[in-house]
Amino acid sequence: MSLPDDYLIYPHRAYGMDQSLYDWRPAPSRRAVRWPGGAAVAAMMVVPIEHHSLTPPGKPFKHPGAMATPYPDLRHYTTRDYGNRVGAFRILDELARAGLKATFAVNAQQVKRLEPLLEAIRADGHEIAAYGLSPEHIHWSGLEGDVEAAWIDEVRERFDAVGLRPRAWLSPARQQSFSTLELIARAGFDVCLDWEQDETPIAMTTPWGVIKAVPLSNELDDRTLLIDRRQTEDDWARQILEAKAYLKSGAERFGGRVLSFTLTPYVTGQPFRIFDLRRVLGDLAADAEVWAAGASEIADAAMGVAGQTG
């Protein structure tokens, strides 16, 4: 059986990439970003504040961190609850000790449940980002457009109800549909943390305006390294600081770049990991070439200099 003549014809094949969100541009040829104060590295720490249900639907897949054993999986459920009750406050204390700012990505369904935590986050001057509705509300291509739009509108409404207007968006499980970027732009979000196509923020175009994509590294995700890959706390800390050193070394050639990683409350907030967290934060705070800031501030600093889509 022979193939049809048009089998190998791909209408989107062209130089670079087959999408129009942003231009393809290799690192040596893009305009260098310069961070405030001449810093070589912008440190973006993201603290996910989420609520995992005892009965996750698992559609289209279970969110990382979802319940793992048969119902009722009280061991994992209470560990996640521990993160929001204890671990998150412990991370706040360590950030304050080091004098650093972070981005707390909060499920919209948590804004009323965790008011004392949100008050503490705001009091310390950290950025609050929207982390979708909940880990059960995963955006994907099989989701009907009006359903996804309603979810995003509800996220905005729930934050508005407590006097918060976050600019930054993180999708549950960092999963998007083909419409997510356009829908969050329509809802007034202009910063997105789902993508990691570069080491500096990238401007992505949508019909509702520009979304500034600030890369959040999955390779330095604390849950991935410490739980899934079962690395030691020393390895986790060392990898973050080695990444920082390498990014600094290339600043003259490539400009300022972003060092990003997560601090998951039920993972890094455990007492036996705090001294390694303190080691990482202390090193970042003591380094004059590191600028620690929230996601939106980093996005604005990059776009203010680069002002481009590639």
pLDDT in tens, 77-88: 999 999 999 999
Residue 223 CA to residue 285 CA, distance in Å, equals 23
pLDDT given for residue 15 in this prediction: 67
Q: Is residue 6 in some structural domain?
A: no
Looking at the structure of the chain, the number of domains it has is 1
Q: Is residue 21 in some structural domain?
A: no
Residue 136 CA to residue 118 CA, distance in Å, equals 21
Q: Is residue 17 in some structural domain?
A: no
Q: Is residue 83 in some structural domain?
A: yes
Q: Is residue 265 in some structural domain?
A: yes
Beta strand pairing call for 127-130 and 103-106: parallel
Rounded to the nearest 5°, which phi and psi values hold at 47? -110, 110
Q: Is residue 39 in some structural domain?
A: yes
The answer to whether residue 310 scores a pLDDT higher than 50 is: no
Q: Is residue 3 in some structural domain?
A: no
Domain of residue 105 covers 27-305
Q: Is residue 20 in some structural domain?
A: no
Q: Indicate which CATH number applies to the domain containing 154.
A: 3.20.20.370
Render pLDDT for 200-245 as a digit per residue (tens, 0 to 9).
999 999 999 999 999 999 999 999 999 999 999 999 999 999 999 9
Residue 252 CB neighbour total at 10 angstroms: 9
Render pLDDT for 90-140 as a digit per residue (tens, 0 to 9).
999 999 999 999 999 999 999 999 999 999 999 999 999 999 999 999 999
Could you give the percent of the chain with pLDDT greater than 70?
A: 95
**pTM attached to this predicted model:** 0.93
